[in-house]
A and B are shown apart, each in its own frame.
Chain A
Amino acid sequence: MLNWIVGFTILIVKLGVVLLVLLLLAAYLVWLERKFLARLQIRYGPNRAGKFGLLQPIADTIKMLTKEDIVPAAADRFIFLLAPAVVATTALMMFAVVPFGSHLTLWGRQIPLVITDLNVGLLYVFALSSLGVYGVAMGGWASNSKYSLLGGIRGAAQMISYELALGLSLVPVVMLAGSFSIVDIVNAQAKYPFIIVQPFAFVIFMISAMAESKRIPFDLPEAENELGAGYHTEYSGIRFGLFFLGEYVHLQILGALVAVLFLGGWRGPILPPPVWLFMKMIFVALIMIWVRGTLPRLRYDQLMALGWKVLIPLALVNIMVTGAILLI
């Protein structure tokens, strides 16, 4: 009984800490993105709120919290209200299986530095990521606006397409690690990170991940110059904030997944494991921002062609090659 209570407390504390870090990180990821992007474009980026604009995320949060929450008269109210929550929760829940260290020993208790080590962790991630699509589609549909609807449809189509490539690109990793558990995958990289043996998988995963999180150059669902703001055109205030949050949590998740699956996860010399993981995540994020700062948006047909005609075949070939090598 006592054991049970302590375990539960530890879980709650872990959850709290992770959630806090995640949300804070999401906010500052926005700051980082704006700053870094600005520098890529020879600008300053936010520099008015606090030193280096460091208070900007807080100002933005306050702004979004205090803005009027508008529900369009013609919207399907229930779904409209639900959609942003779906996006944000699915994104947050994905982090449950990402390990940020091996374990901590406190008062003689071993505390694994992962919220829960599912043996099908990777599948869990994919499942939630697929659920996230619902948020987008629901938001787009429920707004009862043509822009939103188009954005929602695009989002759904794009995310489903790239989910495939995303999944397939990881099959070799699973093959190498021999497990779906992310903890196991990290452990499998104890000697060398998988990026070294699986560069193709890494590239495919990166590209698919960017498409999955609807980031430039794959931001067709919210293409400003065509669709207003796409599926979240009609959202305002904190509900828009939830979409926004979902997007940046997603970015973190993907950063973390890249780190965990290809870059050895929390492993690294000298510094404590969570710091390594953090650094790797940031590194992945910076690369994604760099891509954003460099590449223009794809056309819809290009997007689809890239997914179906390039990435998926490549991933399949990669699986076969990996399989062949493993057999040999």
Chain B
Amino acid sequence: MPTIIIDDREIEVAPGTKVIEAAEQLGIMIPRFCYHPALGSVGACRVCAVKFLQGPFKGVQMSCMVDAQDDMVVSTTDKEAVAFRKYVIECLMLHHPHDCPVCDAGGHCLLQDMTVSGGHGIRRYLGKKRTYPDQYLGPLIQHEMNRCIHCYRCSRFYQDFGGYHDLGAMQSANQTYFGRFEEGILESPFSGNLIDICPTGVYTDKPSRYFGRRWDYERSPSLCINCSLGCQTVVSCRYRKVVRQEARLSESVNGHFICDRGRYGFFYNSLAQRPRSCIVDDQTTSVDQALAAVKQKLETFADKDRAQAVACAGSTRNSLETLAMVKHVCQTNRWQPPAYFEDAAATYKLKSAISRLEPDLTVSLREIESADFIAVLGADPLNEAPMLALALRQAQRKGATVAVFDPRPIFLPFEFKHLPANLDMIQTDLGALLNAALEPAALKKLDGSAREFYASLATVKQISAARQAEIVALAELLKASQRPIIVCGTEMVRRQTPALAADYALLMQAAGKSVGLFYVMPGANGFAAGLLADEDVSVETLIAGIEKGSIKMLILVESNPLWQFPDRHRLEQALQQLEVLVVMDYINSEVAQKADIFLPTTTLYETGGVYVNQEGRAQGVKPAYQGGIPIAQTGHGDHPPRVYGTEIPGAEPQAAWQLLAHLIGTGQPLTAEDLRAEIWQWLAKIDSGFKALPCVADIQPQGARFFQAPHAAERFLRERPIGGADNDGQLEVMAVEMTFGTEELSADSACLKALAGSPVIFMYSSDAKQLNLTDGDRVSVELNGGAVEARLQVTANMAAGMLIIPRHKDLDWQKMNTDKTFVHKDQIRKLKD
């Protein structure tokens, strides 16, 4: 461990630590532009110069390029170094435009900071300034290339780190340009990070363009709830409006970056059409009156037998408080058990996944970056959990192999192995891979049940001939791997897949590998919902209850089954059959508009909340602002309201869990704090895995992985791989998630609309050939509930015998079965253009 002295202070650092990092550990921030902890050093900007006084070499050197070594004595304040840095800044500023007043980076601009702190105040260069043309880079990023100081951070992030290649450095020397070859929307769903990473104002946030300055924003740590990973963010609010969201450095979840779905997924919060007042039978009322109306309706179901006619459903976007309260209310009032998921299988899959997250298997998103072999089973990282793709990319950059077993046309921004097969076959393929990869020596280590499980795996010979070579090649890599990780989806896959993934991981562990297990789950709080859910209760079972007439009143808490329930017709019918439909939500969802009684609730940004991500990490968020209708909406166009008072207009809504508390007859109105404490007590009481949950105040900004599945006594015995079922030549229809446009909250973001593309249907190339269809044909697929029409995209990059329909908003795809959906080939017709 080298020991180095910087500015007369000694520090011992890990070998390979750069001097700039060592200084940072001491709390000394050496100026930097091109160095970035996530991107490393390139020595492009020369602003990190320090003076080496003693050691292997002396003189002014770039602190980001030199590894800290023993005997080094460094001064950051040496006159020569300070002057050097000053001149570097001056040179960087030669061509810099006089833009600060109209530049959105102003106020949090690294270049501003360095210029001022470096002491370069007056321009001496009187020549002409170089200028650049700017490009249209899509709806998210504004390009203003004049401001560039050529640190290469953007191209290093975009290409090296992110794996996309449509933006980078062009031209040479003094004319070096950073942009795209042709103008157009950036392909990377991580492009928003360019804004955070550029030390100047070349890339600025377009949706919040010219809105305000960093110093005026109410900024607070927050969380992305647009997928199950729970990336950590910083949210900026101003004038009662959430304006921006940026990545927050998290060593356990997302690192330095977030995806664009998360970054721009907050606009639902401040929409003009966001419901702010209670509605009872189409009349606007106060919260108290609406609650009274709900209670009055509940009176009819007061006695013991009738209580079962009331059902309540939450969803995976509920905060933990709400999830718990939903269940608490249902139990206390003896209603039906709560439903959190749309299909019953989801509950089963999640419960089996969660029960397998043993501490020695579970890995965090960041830990994936250090794996050397990653098998992705039934998950589409880029579309279901975008930051997972970026983590996989980092592992791949370090040499890991990524193999994806999934029927969908998977795209990842790096080289990976895709072994498409239908949902029944993917686990068989992975099993065969394991079978082939475990060496005889390792097999000897296996004990009884593991050996038995191993014996049940398919052998390479049993799988399709075409696949054999690929599996064998991968097996070689897996054989050599020290740190394999299995990433498993829980949404699209079959019931037994999540458990199987765990069994596979355990098998590798038994064979001596240090293995990791990582699940992708539906929704931001899918984990907590899975813990709380009662087995086999789902929206689907509620619908069945309504159809039977046993459920008469339904309370939907921040839940909108209409968004993606596969059989929309059936759901609508059921909703109509209800005597009373109560909806509590903060978005103006379709189902909210059908409600007899509607109560608006508050968002994460207004009341905060706890979310548990897919690895069992509880992350708490405090309110980002006071709530209320944005000033722009209450104002008069050219000026904000001229009425003064202490009331915040539109701040009446309460958190869903606070509203629900009124439905339990405790009588006493509790403060939010007390109510939370009560919920926590209740959570600890019901035996549901929340025993170790820290109380809200104790949840650190980094979150706390509280959940630990107990070691099962009987391992490996839970599920066995299933062979491929015969589908009679039918195609299985799968409605899948996309990065943009299919997730409910981010779908409300206008700026993401253009990124969602147009609706398509994917079909395997030889299937298409059989049907005489070609890429780009307009087709109609006759599903149970009617026809779905879209353009066909034919690809060789997916499983045969499948029809993949992205759940595009503009596509009327909710005509499927609640269970598996198959179509005969003659149900697919080509349409005339």
A–B interface present (Cβ within 8 A): no
